[in-house]
Structure 1
Amino acid sequence: MHIQVKCSCGEGNCPEWAIVELQGVVEAQPSFENRLQSLQIGVLCRPSSQESYTFTIGYHELIGTKVSLKKPILVLKKIKLRNEDEEEDGGDVDATRVELDMIGIIRHKILFKTRPKALISSKGAQPSAKEKASASSSKTPH
């Protein structure tokens, strides 16, 4: 089968995409299982003064870095077109041919390779010595 690949966005104008690579599994709660289409997974931030990224998912925060890919990856959209040549020859009316339209290019990935940091602590957890020191230094005498 012959598949044609074309770029409709023009030379050098294809939007840049990125891959977010996580270690582990992101699981949706059972109440969202059937509605994943527009589900917000988390918040991705990059402080302007740093090259690191933070990705907050629920009560977990991941810290990652931007990494260049060895080879760029194309983002393609499959388009099914009617094959008019076969229709005119009396062939199968439902015959289609496939084209791939390039809609983006990926040159970087944001890699989160460390374990997530918990943003909340349990109720029974004792404050660390550092937290105790900062709390006592912030108290003002009466």
Structure 2
Amino acid sequence: MQIQVRCGCGEAACPEWAVVEVQGVLQPQPCFSGRIQGLHIGRLCSTSSPPSSKGGYTFTIGYHELAGSKVTLKKPLLVLRKKKNGKGGTGELGQGGPAEVELEVIGIIRHKILFKDRPKALISKPVPKEKKALPAAATPSTVPPAS
């Protein structure tokens, strides 16, 4: 079977996507019960402005911070959306061939952001309490003796 790939936006105009590669496992809390679509995982930031081709990135997940870098893929990847066309029939026996399948290009992946080191724990120091100074009138040396 031949599958046709179509890009309606032109190669130069296709949106750029990137892959985020993390070593280890990301486990959502049990309360999400498998519903991870649209789940906020963390915050991805570029450490250089503007982001360069080999720039550094940080990925903050909860109380952990990962440091990574942008890597160019040897071969670009396509992000595809599958569409079925009814030109070939219904696909049932005796009523023509199977429906044609067309793949639409919705993005190109040329880079990945690689986080290969262990995360750094983000533990903040407690705020030091300020000592309150006593007013000068209340110090024992300035209080007049009782008669």
Tell me the TM-score range normalised by the shorter chain.
Answer: 0.7 to 0.9
1:50-129 correspondence to structure 2 within 5 Å: 51-83=55-87, 85-86=88-89, 91-92=94-95, 95-120=98-123
Q: Take 1:74 and 1:42, find their aligned partners in 2: how far apart are those partners?
A: 25
Q: Take 1:18 and 1:111, find their aligned partners in 2: how far apart are those partners?
A: 10
Aligned partner letter, 2:80: L
Q: Take 2:111 and 2:42, find their aligned partners in 1: how far apart are those partners?
A: 20
Residues 70, 113 of structure 2: 8 Å contact kept: yes
- Runs of at least 4 residues off by over 4 Å: none
Aligned partner letter, 2:71: V
User: What per-residue deviation string (whole Å, max 9, x for no partner) do you get for residues 92-114 of structure 1?
Assistant: 38942211111110111000010
Q: Take 2:38 and 2:96, find their aligned partners in 1: how far apart are those partners?
A: 36
User: What per-residue deviation string (whole Å, max 9, x for no partner) do you get for residues 109-139 of structure 1?
Assistant: 0000100011127xxxxx8xxxxxxx9xxxx
Q: Take 1:73 and 1:86, find their aligned partners in 2: how far apart are those partners?
A: 31
For structure 2, list consecutive stretches of 5 or more residues without a partner in the other structure. 129-147
Query: May I ask how many residue pairs the two structures share in their alignment?
Result: 122
Residues 86, 92 of structure 1: 8 Å contact kept: yes
Are residues 95 and 44 of structure 1, via their aligned partners in 2, closer, same or farther at CA, if it must alter by over 3 Å?
same
With the length of structure 2 as denominator, give the TM-score of the two structures: 0.73
Shift of 1:11: 3.7
Shift of 1:80: 1.4
Cα root mean square deviation, aligned: 2.6
2:38 maps to 38
Shift of 1:86: 3.5
Q: Which has the higher contact order (CA 8 A, sep 6+)?
A: 1
Q: Take 2:58 and 2:21, find their aligned partners in 1: how far apart are those partners?
A: 13
Aligned partner letter, 2:16: E
Residues 73, 107 of structure 1: 8 Å contact kept: yes
Q: Take 2:67 and 2:23, find their aligned partners in 1: how far apart are those partners?
A: 12
Residues 89, 99 of structure 2: 8 Å contact kept: no
SS at match of 2:38: coil
